[in-house]
Amino acid sequence: MRYKLRGAMVLTEKGRERLDLLVEDGRIAALGKTSSVNAKELDFSGLTILPGFIDIHLHGAGGKDTMDATYEALNTIAQTHGKHGTTAMVPASVAATFEEMQAVAEAIKTAVDKGTDGAKILGWHVEGPYMNIECLGAHRAECVRNASVSETEKLWEISGGNIKVMTLAPEIDGALELIGYLRTIGAVPSMGHTMATVEQFERAVAAGALHTTHLFNAMRKFHHREPGIIGAALTDDRVSSEIIADGIHIHPVALKLFYQNKGPDKALLITDSMQAVDLEDGKYELGGLDVFVKEGSARLEDGTLAGSTLTMEKAVKNIIELAGASLENASKMASLNPARLLGLDYRKGSIALGKDADLVAVDDEFNVQFTMVEGKIIYNALG
């Protein structure tokens, strides 16, 4: 299908411009004045078109959880987040038994091979079980274990080679060896759920670690005499970091600290969302644990934060309003930076000729009105 998108302000790699977009065969075929021959014209007057958002860390939405381990669940998650401008995603599992992880691996493979009716599933974010028991967060303690290359190799094969990110604590037994293995298969080793010191952080980076998972949350606290992984990550440009910018997980001052140190090039926005996205407050589940959602905050019974109900367009809006990011930089954190981390920036993450037509249109209040994934309209509130 060929589309001409006209009338919008478009955020390209050069900045914001009012121009037309021609989409053909799933790619951006032209920018500027274009012929409308055989193209369906869509009017985007009053809207801004941004690169589609890429969420590399989410657990659920629409009443479904990655740990449901079915194609149907992943499709619902992709559809739900697609309505909020996410065009590509890496669903995350939680600490689980090998059998449970095997089922997730099989479901991820199916979703990658088959495609979805929403955001494109790029692969699997394996969050745990290789974490520090002292930084458990919303994970089952009985499933936490030391890092294992052999177990990861099996899951890699079952998933069809679709492990894209793995969160692990770099200080636990076997972690450095696993970090090295992850680099050989093209996966991103991410440090999280960790009590790592600065020295342990340094050893992990030397071994190949590239990223930190939901910085500030579920990790050693910052202290001026032992800055730990937080201080190390904030001051090391070799490593990118992701943040949950929902106004709940992170105080606005910490969000500013993050943006001023990691933004715009090494900062990523994620949702870490659970199944209550787009649903009412109530009792839900995250990886086998009961979660109680009240006023958008998701917590275990003991008050521990358990994922979020955040969506990517709200994360972008929050980093602008709470941390002072420009739209251009906020967009980079939600699109280009995750694409670059995954090695996909040659075709995703920005609006440029020849790149995938992954697009989101927002109004002045930053409400999503339209989402396109590789030239396919997956959400349209324009009528």
State the Cα–Cα distance between residues 159 and 106, nearest whole angstrom: 6
SS3 content of the chain, % helix, strand, coil (to 5): 30, 30, 40
> What 3-state DSSP class applies to 364?
coil
Q: Count the alpha carbons within 13 Å of 125 in the hemisphere toward its beta carbon.
A: 29
21-24 vs 27-31, strand pairing mode: antiparallel
Report strand pairing: 53-58 vs 86-91.
Answer: parallel
Running DSSP on this structure, what letter comes out for residue 232?
Answer: H
Contact 269, 312 (CB under 8 A): yes
CA distances from residue 12 to 18, 34, 196 in whole angstroms, order as listed: 10, 16, 39
Spatial distance between the Cα atoms of 287 and 90, rounded to a whole number of angstroms:
16
Catalytic site residue from 272, 278, 281, 358: 272
Give Cα 76 distance to the centre of its chain.
16
Distances (CA, A) of 63 to 39, 274, 277, 307: 37, 8, 7, 14
Q: Taking phi first (over 0 means left), then psi (-120 to 50 degrees means alpha), and beta for anything else, what does residue 352 get?
A: beta
Element (H, E) at 270: strand 267-270
CA distance 129 to 147: 8
Q: Which residues pair with 204 in a beta bridge?
A: none
Q: Which amino acid is at 342?
A: L
- Cα–Cα dist 299/167, whole Å: 21
Measured between alpha carbons, how far is 303 from 203 in angstroms, rounded to an integer? 33
SS3 assignment, position 128:
coil
Question: For 233, which DSSP code?
Answer: H
Is 278 an active-site residue?
A: no
The catalytic site residues sit at 272
